[in-house]
Structures are given as structure tokens and as C-alpha cells.
Amino acid sequence: MAHDPDNDNNFDSPMVFIIIAKGYEEEGGEGVDLHILLRAPDDDSAVREALNALSEEGFLEADLDQIGMINGAPDEEPHASAYQGALEGEIAIIRFN
């Protein structure tokens, strides 16, 4: 799923976003800290796709705290493999317990 940026910025590499969130699997339950990595043409699309992926994974709610772009492949796991998955069109959800 390759997209061109919707703005005037010209990027040499794919736009990979990271969203820092807290997801809730049970109503009134304790939240799970999450990092979501995905490719998207803009931040609005990234948020929509991330929320859809969380819903598919069984999360009832999510609080999205921050969104940003990753400039270059991370060196450390689990973000390095999640970044590679995002480049291949996957939406990677990293859970922190």
C-alpha cells in the first residue's frame, strides 16, 4: 500500500508513522501501553488505520497520545522489526505490559 504524501513535503523514504497510545480491551479495565507503526499518506489516515487495527485486535477503546514520523530504521527491537513490517504494508502493534 504505497501512497504519496498529501502535502508539499517531499520525502525520499516512505512515511512511517508511530502512534503512542493506551488501549483498553475491557470496559473499565486497565489500559495497555501501545506503540503502533504503519505507513500512511498523512497523519489523519494513520490515525484511522491505527484505530481500525486496534478494533480488529479486540480493543474497545484507545487513547492516542502522540503521533510522529520515524526517520530511518530503528536499531533496537521490537521497533526494528515493526518498522520493517510497516514498510511492507503491515500495521505493527507493540504492547507494553
Q: Looking at residue 97, what is its pLDDT?
A: 79
* Whether 32 contacts 22, CB under 8 Å: yes
pTM listed for this prediction: 0.84
Joined grid coordinates for residue 31: 489500559
Q: Tell whether the model's pLDDT for residue 11 goes beyond 70.
A: no
Give the pLDDT confidence score for residue 14 in this predicted structure: 75
Q: Which tens digits make up the pLDDT trace of 42-87?
A: 999 999 999 999 999 999 999 999 999 999 999 999 999 999 999 9
Contact 39, 91 (CB under 8 A): no
The span from the CA of 48 to the CA of 76, in Å, is: 27
**What average pLDDT score do residues 8-17 get?**
70
